[in-house]
Amino acid sequence: MADRSSLLRSNKNPKLLGYSSFDPGGSIDSGISSSGEGRVSKEHGSKSAGKVVEDAERVSISWENIQVFVEQPGPSFIKRLCFGKNENEAAKRKQILFNVSGNVEAGTLLAIMGASGAGKTTLMNVLAHRNICQMEVRGSVEINNRPVGAEISSMSAYIQQEDLFVGTLTVREHLTFQAFLRMEKNVPDNQRKARVEDVILQLGLTKCADTYIGLPGRLRGISGGEKKRLSFASEFLTDPPLLFADEPTSGLDSFMAQSLITALQQLAAQGRTIICTIHQPSSQVYAMFNSILLLAEGRTAYLGSRPDAIQYFDSLGYRCPVNFNPADHFIHTLAIVPGDEENCRKRVQDICDVYSAHEAEFDKPETHERQDSFKEEANPRSSYKASWYRQFRSVFWRSWLTNKRDVLIFRIRFFQSIFIGLVTGIIFFQTTIDQDGVQNIYGAFFYIVTSVSFSNVAAVTFTFPIEKAIFLREHNNRMYRTDVYFLSKTFAESPQFFLGPLIMITVGYWMVGLRPDVLRFLVAYGILALVSMAAVSFAYVISTISPTPSVSTALSGPLILPLLVLGGFYIENRTIPEWLTWLRYLSWFNYGFEALAVNQWDNYGPIPCKIIPTNETYTKCVYNGSIAIEQRGLKEDNFLIDIYALVALIVGFRLISFLFLLRTSYKRT
């Protein structure tokens, strides 16, 4: 496969089928010459905020005989069990695209249009070589008359329909983050920042540059149109000569849609090749495209100049009414109307057959044999643009800002820690250390361990499911590695999980009346901090295996409760059945509870015991701390073992959660 530089050097643009001179159809002068070569006039170049693409960097793209097949979902397990397996089940496949061919010259703004299900997004995914892992793709794609595969991602940008951002960042911070991870390694930092400012100016984001992107229902941010522009800005930072956009006007009003397409028109006028899918554009937006591709039932109905499309359909007997939006006319003509499917499909077939006959005159026979160019490249991956250290520094910076600015969550956790400490202190206030007091102290310890665990588990289980879409998109764009994201996320969140136990034990320790020794207090805090991190690590496992927040919530309770019951308070360790003993070793409740008990009762005594003249009461009397520890089935010598076990659980759970996250990032979707 050829690299980007060699592909760009071979700038021999293929002839565009049905292409005539550039006609923007809007109020903005594109400066394109009538020859259709995509050259920008000096007058236009001086007015434009963007950089004019040099002739050596321009790309034209062509595709030949693209066919796409997908596997049909089979019957459910119950259906197969009851009715058996159909002999034709294994051969079930659905073809989405049928021998689609075409080409686009540099400096062209092409709109792929068609009714729902026509194959617009599928074709663009094939051209961009993205999201095709579950498809069987046949055919060939060429850049400047040279075959191209996965390396097309190094010279192109892909703007997806759904806008995904970290809402606590400002527009400038988001673009800075993107610039530091997506631009080439040899670009100095000052040039990266200058590029961010250029893109902000070019895409009209100056007014909102220092505004938060926003979180729905929590943090007010930029508008929907500005988010769509920000999506383009994020991809445009690397100044790609080839740009793909999936439904760029989706969710925008007519004015914002026209404004966005105007920006694309200006970019195309600078020499870039832009291909976008669009669903029922307004007449003003439609007039801004200089070429259109109409798909119907997975076949090409028309590819060529926008002004020539009306005349072409008129020659087929489908005249566009006066003062009628041509885009609506074409889509209605090629749509399959419910209740009249047979006639509609016959009309679509006739239109596509006519175009196929016209296209056959321009076919290149040598390309027909190249039918397997996509099979070995189903999962394109290019090299990272940033070093490991730069990736970690950038992702950690973003994660730190996100946690720092989420003031509401911080306040909730702060007051939650104070509240739990107060509840513990009030319920067990100045517990008298006697026979009953020993049991009350055990209750206080287990309540603290349980409260610390559940409060932190609840704070983490949603983390990865909520950010999964953003992580996968950025990871698939080769912005950063999975280990970088995981380490940055966990390190940035760690301070709050150390702060919570400190507040809780500071409030509750002295109110309960535990051993008035500063060293014992610090040891108790250290134990709770380890318990907190162990609970968080286990929550990371739940979070990484859960596809959605609701699944994470449903799993957390059933998975944690067995570890809670075997924590040494509800049932003594020496009475646990042998077949369940292994589960106790995974319980941080057990290690934290035992370590706190040893820290409290080690070398403690004597404990007052009022002897009642009955043998039964006399035998249950606890005289000192050693007996108190032994009575609960705990071991005084296990203190260091408990500490080491908590550290091992922290490392082990986090390693497991990382492996699950790694599996998710490499899973073919």
Give per-residue pLDDT as tens, 382-431.
478 889 999 999 999 999 998 888 888 888 889 999 999 999 999 999 88
Q: Quick one: CA torsion of 440, 444, 450, 455, rounded to 10 degrees?
A: 150
Instruction: Write down the residue that tokens 């003509």 correspond to.
Output: 333
Residue 308, sorted as left (phi over 0), alpha (psi -120 to 50) or beta, turns out to be alpha
Whole-angstrom distance, CA of residue 395 vs CA of residue 391 = 6
Mean pLDDT of 602-615: 71
Contact 273, 58 (CB under 8 A): yes
Query: In this predicted model, what pLDDT tens digit does every residue of 39-57 receive, in sequence order?
Result: 333 333 333 345 666 655 7
| Residue 12 backbone dihedrals phi, psi, to 5 degrees | -110, 100
Q: Are strands 135-143 and 61-71 parallel, antiparallel or unpaired?
A: antiparallel
Count CA atoms within 13 Å of residue 156 on its CB side.
29
Bridge partners, residue 299, by sequence: 296
DSSP state of 212: B
- 298 vs 50, more confident: 298
What is the pTM for the complete model shown? Answer: 0.78
Query: In this predicted model, what pLDDT tens digit does every residue of 78-98 receive, in sequence order?
Result: 555 555 555 455 447 788 899
Does 26 score more than 80 pLDDT? no
Contact 431, 513 (CB under 8 A): yes
Q: Domain map of the chain by residue range?
A: 61-152+290-362, 388-603+638-667
* pLDDT (0 to 100) of residue 656: 95
Contact residues for 39 (Cβ-Cβ < 8 A; gap 6+): 32, 33, 55, 107, 271
Contact 394, 173 (CB under 8 A): no
**ω before 549 within 30° of 0 (cis)?**
no
Helix (H) and strand (E) counts in the chain: 24, 10
Whole-angstrom distance, CA of residue 367 vs CA of residue 365 = 5
Task: Name the burial class of residue 227, with classes exposed (0-12), middle (13-18) and buried (19+) by CB atoms within 10 angstroms of its CB.
Answer: buried
Residue 278, sorted as left (phi over 0), alpha (psi -120 to 50) or beta, turns out to be beta
Whole-angstrom distance, CA of residue 319 vs CA of residue 585 = 77
Q: Which two tokens stand for residue 166?
A: 């970290």
Q: Which two tokens stand for residue 45?
A: 């170049």
* pLDDT (0 to 100) of residue 595: 93
Whole-angstrom distance, CA of residue 417 vs CA of residue 458 = 13
Q: For the chain, state the CA radius of gyration.
A: 33
Whole-angstrom distance, CA of residue 100 vs CA of residue 96 = 10
Does 582 score more than 50 pLDDT? yes
Helix (H) or strand (E) holding 158: strand 156-159
| Residue 513 backbone dihedrals phi, psi, to 5 degrees | 90, 40
Residue closest to 111 by CA, chosen among 101, 100, 123, 129: 123
Mean pLDDT of 438-443: 90
- 145 vs 381, more confident: 145
DSSP state of 428: T
Does 66 score more than 60 pLDDT? yes
